Amino acid sequence: MDYRLLSKTGIKVSSVAFGTAPLGGVFGDVDEHEVTKVLDEAFDSGINLLDTSPYYGLAEERLGRWLTPHKRERITIATKAGRYGVDDFDFSPERIRQSLEQSLRLLNTDYVDILHLHDIEFSNLDWIFEDSLSMLHTLRDEGKCRFIGMTGYPIHTMRRVIEQTDVDAILTYAKDTLLDDSLSTLLAPIAAERQVGLMNAAAVSLGLLTPGGTQLPFDHPAPTAVRHAAARMIEIAQAAGENIAFIANQYAIQRTKAATTVVGTAKINHLRQAIQAASTPINEPLLEQLLAQRPDPKDRPWPIGKEENR
Residues 273, 246: contact at Cβ < 8 Å? Answer: yes
Q: State the alpha helices, DSSP H only, in 3-92.
A: 32-44, 59-66, 69-74
Phi/psi at 88 (5° precision): -110, 100
Q: Is 84 among the catalytic positions?
A: no
C-alpha separations of 127 from 42, 57, 95, 165, 245 in Å = 37, 27, 14, 12, 38
In whole angstroms, what is the distance from residue 91 CA to residue 105 CA? Answer: 20
In whole angstroms, what is the distance from residue 309 CA to residue 81 CA? Answer: 19
Q: Which of 56, 153, 173, 251 is an active site residue?
A: 56
Residues 159, 230: contact at Cβ < 8 Å? Answer: no
Which residues carry out catalysis? 56
